[in-house]
Structure 1
Amino acid sequence: MAGLWNDVVSCGQMALSLLSVRFLIGLALANIKNWHFFWTYNSTYFTDLDMSRGNISLVLFRQPFNPFPGPKHFIMILGGVQCVWRKEIAPYEKYELWTRVLSWDEKWIYLVSHFVKADVFVPGEYAMQPGPKEKKNKHGGIETKDPQKAVFASSIARYVFKNGRRTVPPEQALSRCGLLPADEAKSAEVERLRLKWLPVAQLKSGWDSVHGLFEPGELALGRYTDLWWR
């Protein structure tokens, strides 16, 4: 039932302190998908979430990601996902799916996703597609004053990194992918944010806190469609 979609991986406002020089992105990431639907069933939400999280995971962890055994290889396994709806997505209504890494503990890495009204929030820069990519806001910028008003639904998913039967700690996986800063001050800021958002990621603070995590950013990796047209 899906029509054309656009795909953008975007950084949130916290990305400046989490920026990876190699990828020009940080841990505060979002993956946007704009879909045209005749109707959105409950099951299609989770299908979209799978595709969004899969895309961002391959962008961030593609180098060591390998299903075959190796001393530095690992795969990501989904351990659980929950989704809570706030508003109905009407028939034929476009929406965007934003996903970013939220936090991690000794075993799990947590990703947060938001289904958002389309064309409200526009990244100002695409790191993987140099040049101007301006797109007008069709909603007059009203919702940008309160981003949560544009959120249809939110989801929390947790993943574990595995090398065979061995669990790879998320911090080790992130470091191996060059996603953790070497600078001591920036590293301390990453740890502060990790601890700040960990209770929310573990759903100890309620779903209102999860909805409130949506932060549109200025930096994005790129914009794509299902036919690779921009």
Structure 2
Amino acid sequence: MHLDHSHHTTPAPSADAHRPDGRRRALRIGLGGPVGSGKTATVAALCRALREEFSLAVVTNDIYTREDAEFLLREAVLPPERITAVETGACPHTAIRDDISANLEAVEDLEDAVGPLDLVLVESGGDNLTATFSKGLVDAQIFVIDVAGGDDIPRKGGPGVTTADLLVVNKTDLAPYVGSDLGRMAADAKAARGELPVVLQSLRSETGASEVAAWVRARLAAWTA
């Protein structure tokens, strides 16, 4: 179940699409959202969906551990050398929005080690509705919320919900059990975001993350055009 976003146009690639040596750098897409919303599971699903088509890698962020990276390694979604972790040691906002140096270094190290890459997914540590990525770190951002957090989250807004390039309402299979109204969430998200796209997904369904993967493919097509 999703909102129609066929009319949404993909922005043109940014001017800094090349590395200092002239090679085209990877498209960088950030995934943020509250703790437990399903960011890491969505990253894993995207890796499975895209790894045969594109050369990709992942950077995860956690405050004091490498838990998310270890989950991806256990799931074997990519070879180990394509997954790396940043321990932020502070509020997750800081490493993706304010002092992005550790994440930039991690992305560049991956490109040097296993490149050339088509795509790098940068996952934020669990955060709140104000989480956003610096434009100096990512080219586009996905914000993930889940129905268990309450069907009023899209109405509450916040920069993550209202300005992310794609909003994902995750775990729709849980809606009947937590009393969330998916129709209301979809309508509120549309009201909050205007023309920006929204996907409602359950990773337990047959379609899984297919819509999000299609959105990423479109971004990659624009990036390499």
**Which category of TM-score, normalised to the shorter sequence, fits these structures?**
under 0.3
Q: Which protein has the bigger strand share?
A: 1
TM-score (norm 1): 0.24
Q: Whose helix proportion is higher, 1 or 2?
A: 2
